[in-house]
Amino acid sequence: MKLFKRILLVLLVVLLGWGWHERENLWAFPDIISAYTAKEYCSCRYVMNNDAEYCRGYVKQWLPSELTDDRTQKIVTASGLGRSNSAQWQGERQGCRLPP
């Protein structure tokens, strides 16, 4: 039993060390998820001309997110993990883009 506790302690220390080393990447993760969801939904909906329900299923993530689709301006906003990103349809040749 003592060996098992020591192994768990060592694994915990290694995991914390890895988390500290990768802290910038882990901090960017929520932005990446919401940007990816907004861009993929926008492309599915406005570039590929699929219906809204199909595209919602297409971009569904394991992590909770909320989608807002402004059909008049063709802007999609995805929110999740405390961050929001938008993508807008630019035209047939440009497709959808995230703002700079």
pLDDT digits (tens, 9 = 90+) for 57-81: 999 876 677 899 999 999 999 998 8
Q: What is the pLDDT of residue 10?
A: 87
Residues 6+ apart with CB under 8 A from 96: 39, 42, 43, 46, 47, 76, 87, 88, 89, 90
68 - beta bridge partners? 77
- Between 100 and 84, where is the model more confident? 84
Predicted pLDDT of residue 49: 94
**Quick one: pLDDT at residue 86?**
95
